[in-house]
Structure 1
Amino acid sequence: MKTILLCIDTDVERANEQVKSVTELPLETEQVRIVLYHVFRADDENADAENLKSVSEAIERLEEAGFTVEVAQSSGNAVRNILDQAAELDADVISLAGRKRSPTGKALFGSVTQDVILKSNRTVLLSTAE
C-alpha cells in the first residue's frame, strides 16, 4: 500500500487543487492510503482539523474518488512537523500546496513548501491554484 501525506491548510481553493492533483494520478485507489494533515500554528486542545472547510471538502472529494482517507493534525513548526509525520507514516509522497509569491516575498517570509522540498528525501507533489 502506498501512503500519501496530503498537507492541507485552510485555503479551500488550494486544497481543491491538491485533491485534483492526486485524483488525476493513475492510482489504484484501493492500494492508496491518504492522510490529510494540518498543522495548527498555536497549540489549542479544542482545535480539530476535521472542522476546517478545506479538510472536510477534501475528505468528501477523495472518498468520492474511492480513496481511504485519514485525518491527522499537530501544532507548532509546520516544516518540522510535516517531515516528522512523513517519516512516522513512511509516506511515499508528500503533497503540498504552493503559493504564488514574488522572489522578494519568498526571501522575506520564507516558505513551508520550499523548506519541505529542500529538506525532504521523499517525493513531493506540488499543486498551485490558478
Structure 2
Amino acid sequence: MTVLVGYIPTPEGEAAYAAGLAEARRRGEALVVINSPRENTPMHAAMAADSAIDRLRSEASTAGVDLEVRQEPYTGELADTVVRVAQETDASVIVIGLRHRSPVGKLIMGSTAQRILLEADRPVLAVKA
C-alpha cells in the first residue's frame, strides 16, 4: 500500500506533501507524489521544477520513506487522474491541499478537491496551507 499526494508547487501543495510524508512514515508505507500538467499545454506553474522534486526526494530519504514521483501529463479532469492513480498504487489514503474558494467560485469553476473527496473510494486527507 502507499500514500498518494496530489502536489503542485504552492503553499497548499507543500502542506499536502508534508502531511503525506508524515502519514507515509507513520504507516510504514511508500509515498507516491503525482504532479501532472494538463496534456498539450505549455509547462506552467503546476509542474514542479527539477530542484523542487530533488528537495522532495531528499526530504523523503531523510524520513526513511520510499518516494515515487509521477509527472506524466493528464487528459480530461485531474480528479479522475488522482482517483485512477490511487487505484493503481493501492493507496491507503489520498492527501490533497485545499485553498479557499468561495461557493460561487466552486459552482462556476468546479473544484478538483471536491471531486476527489466525493469520488475517491478510499480515505482522503485534505489539508490547508
Aligned residues: 123
**3-state SS, counterpart of residue 27 of structure 1:** helix
In the alignment, which residue of structure 2 is the partner of 1:89?
89
Query: What is the CA deviation profile of residues 62-121 of structure 1, one whole-angstrom value per residue up to 9, with x for unaligned ones?
Result: 222221101113322211111111111111111111111111111111111100110111
**3-state SS, counterpart of residue 40 of structure 1:** coil
Q: Which has the higher strand share?
A: 1
> Residue 9 of structure 2 contacts residue 48 of structure 2 at CA under 8 Å; is this kept in 1?
no
Q: So what's the TM-score if we normalise by structure 2?
A: 0.80
> Residue 35 of structure 1 contacts residue 72 of structure 1 at CA under 8 Å; is this kept in 2?
yes
> Residue 15 of structure 1 contacts residue 55 of structure 1 at CA under 8 Å; is this kept in 2?
no
Q: So what's the TM-score if we normalise by structure 1?
A: 0.79
**For the structure 1 residues 50 and 111, does the alpha-carbon distance in structure 2 shift closer, same or farther, using more than 3 Å as the test?**
closer
In the alignment, which residue of structure 2 is the partner of 1:3?
2
Q: Of 14, 17, 26, which aligns to 1:16?
A: 14
Structure 1, unpaired ranges of 5+: none
Structure 2, unpaired ranges of 5+: none
